[in-house]
Chain A
Amino acid sequence: TQLLEQSPQFLSIQEGENLTVYCNSSSVFSSLQWYRQEPGEGPVLLVTVVTGGEVKKLKRLTFQFGDARKDSSLHITAAQTGDTGLYLCAGAKSGNTPLVFGKGTRLSVIA
């Protein structure tokens, strides 16, 4: 059983479109992180959210942590080809427990 379910698994959109990807769980997390991974590289941290209902913005990316701290979403406005990659969410149940990763959403932005 996957602790963190990400959807959709694959997404292909045109440049300029908006999109939202989701990370859902039946478990409560003390913190949740979003990473982006490009082919042949390791994941790179985009954001960490720790408070239920928290919203963080990183340029055209908006991250939200669910009120119950069981789910999160990533919204990209006006997608660019440089946004192409694998988006991974990862949660920790407490400050000392290991991160658990979802399977990721593979995003392809076409010019």
Chain B
Amino acid sequence: EAGVAQSPRYKIIEKRQSVAFWCNPISGHATLYWYQQILGQGPKLLIQFQNNGVVDDSQLPKDRFSAERLKGVDSTLKIQPAKLEDSAVYLCASSVSGQVSGNEQFFGPGTRLTVL
């Protein structure tokens, strides 16, 4: 079974530029998550989708971050404009459903973003 795919794996941009990340979840997984992991920290949830609807985006900085999951499969996360503090690894995860117990989240390898 193919895992969660993410691209690009690495991205270096200058502050105030825009960047987009792409995620392809495991086939059949209804729930998709985007996390931000700053160096030395654990992952922090940015947004959770159930199919193509947003379940939780309370920690998404909406003035500069946006995400969509058209057709309830692939998802893109965009930052516009980027700030230095956005330097982090952006992880995508998927699960069969949004329930935590008995429902494993599978993570992709992440996109490492460096903002100069």
Interface residues of A (CB under 8 A from B): 4, 30-31, 33, 40-45, 48, 50, 88, 90, 92, 95-99, 101-104
Given contacts A48-B101, A50-B101, A102-B42, 18 further A-B contacts (CB under 8 A): A31-B101, A41-B107, A41-B109, A42-B107, A42-B108, A43-B91, A43-B107, A48-B100, A88-B43, A90-B42, A95-B101, A98-B48, A99-B45, A99-B100, A99-B105, A101-B44, A104-B41, A104-B42
Rounded to whole Å, the gap between the CB of B82 and the closest CB of chain A is 22
Which A residues touch B99, using CB under 8 A? 95-96
Binding site secondary structure of chain B? loop
Near A by CB (< 8 A), chain B positions 28-75 give 33, 40-45, 48, 56
Contact A92–B4 (Cβ < 8 Å): no
Q: How many residues of B contact A (CB 8 A)?
A: 24
Q: Given A95-B100, A98-B45, A98-B48, are A42 and B4 also a contact pair (CB < 8 Å)?
A: yes
A48 to B102, CA, bound (A): 8
Binding site secondary structure of chain A? loop
A4 to B4, CA, bound (A): 26
Contact B42–A101 (Cβ < 8 Å): yes
Which A residues touch B43, using CB under 8 A? 43, 88, 101
